[in-house]
Chain A
Amino acid sequence: MSFINYASREINCKIVYYGPGLGGKTTNLQYVYERTNPQNKGQLISLATETDRTLFFDFLPLDLGSVRGFRTRFHLYTVPGQVFYDASRKLILKGVDGVIFVADSQEARMDANQESLDNLKHNLRENGFDLGLIPYALQFNKRDLAGAVPYDVMLRALQIKGEPTFEAVAPKGIGVFETLKAVAKQVLQELSKK
């Protein structure tokens, strides 16, 4: 649910990183934070446990400059991936404009990917959204690990509607901006239809 302020000529959109625990959602955000000019970003807020697991959300505001005379801001959020934080995940999806699903390429995490994807569909529905319609991109993270599940296999298992997919190594930044850009683009295109 983007917020368009005609008075101050600003537009704000919300993008949520979703996916199983320890899949690299926060790492994606950290990389975006590190690689963005100071004048284009706000603080990276992490509500995390003492062991650096996301407890409620991470938040990063990005200022992308102007489109058609409107200052364009994206608010990036991650959800906590661990299964038992479901109530929090549902809250963070409120008013979302676009979703990035960060899947873990390890064989042992394929069930967790699937479970999290089902959970995303369900929680979007609870918030009045449809994964089939909302701007969406799929990222296969941790491609550098030995024994990563082949790309085709992951695609077949996780792609749901021909959404753009990206192979990523989040700590090195591979695929990080590409994924973000793909969703941001869909969000702005969505706005142009209204």
Chain B
Amino acid sequence: MTMFGSNLVLYEEEFDRINAVLARLWMDANAKIVFLVDKNGQQIAAKGDLDKVDATSLASLTAGNVAATDGLAKLIGEKEFSILFHEGERDNIHISIVGQRLILVLIFDERSSLGLVRLRVRKAAAELEEVLTQMASKAADQGEAPASPFAEITDDDIDALFTE
């Protein structure tokens, strides 16, 4: 994966590590759902009661929310607001920025607390940043990314996608 380069590419090893961090955070923070999204709104990994939410929309709206808040921060001369918190009647959403590029989202109810969530998120964010750094150095070591699986894509492949 290139850190700020063109495409975000995720491989098995890092994916497994990320999933392990999210699973632990989900347990430790007593959360309902834990979610990792990139700043463009693509969901990377998730853990928890996912049947009850529309994960894709959640990812996109979270990224929109963070982008708007980033815009607000810049307007008043801040670099970013690294934590956003939305409090609801039942459920709450805690959003934090990880490694400038990823967004960690946690949904929790009264079985947890903001204090606990903040504590656990801080630890998980540090671990996720470590994974990111490892991915970046790996990408740098390898130089060029491996050949794209789409290298031999044909017009027919593409047409086939739209034959509904």
Interface residues of chain A, those whose CB is within 8 Å of chain B, are: 1-8, 11-12, 14, 36-37, 40, 42-43, 45, 47, 56-57, 59, 61, 64-65, 67-70, 72, 75, 87-88, 91-92, 94-95, 177, 181, 184-185, 188-189, 191-194
Contacts and interface: CB of A to CB of B under 8 A. Distances in A.
Nearest to A191: B150
Contact of A91 (B12, B68, B149): B68
Given A2-B8, A37-B164, A59-B57, 7 more contacts: A7-B10, A7-B15, A11-B150, A14-B40, A45-B61, A67-B157, A192-B151
Given A191-B153, A192-B150, A5 B44 contact: yes
Given A3-B40, A95-B39, A61 B158 contact: no
Given A7-B16, A47-B64, A64-B162, A1 B10 contact: no
Given A45-B61, A94-B39, A184-B158, A192 B15 contact: no
Contact of A43 (B57, B148, B150, B160): B57
Q: For the complex, would chain A's binding face be called helix, strand, loop or mixed by DSSP majority?
A: mixed
Interface in B10-55: 10-12, 15-16, 38-42, 44, 54
B38 A3 contact: yes
30 contacts: A1-B7, A1-B40, A4-B149, A5-B44, A7-B10, A7-B15, A11-B150, A14-B40, A36-B164, A40-B164, A56-B64, A57-B64, A59-B64, A64-B162, A67-B150, A67-B160, A72-B161, A75-B41, A87-B71, A88-B71, A95-B39, A95-B40, A177-B162, A188-B153, A188-B157, A188-B158, A189-B158, A192-B148, A192-B150, A194-B7
A56 B151 contact: no
A12 to B, nearest CB: 5
B93 interface: no
Interface of B: 6-12, 15-16, 38-42, 44, 54, 56-57, 60-61, 64, 67-68, 70-71, 145, 148-153, 155, 157-158, 160-162, 164
Given A3-B42, A4-B8, A94-B40, A194 B60 contact: no
Contacts of A42: 54, 56-57
Contacts of A95: 38-41
A20 B153 CA distance: 34
A78 to B, nearest CB: 12
B94 to A, nearest CB: 21
A8 B11 CA distance: 9
A70 B107 CA distance: 30
A42 B59 CA distance: 12
Contacts of B12: 6-7
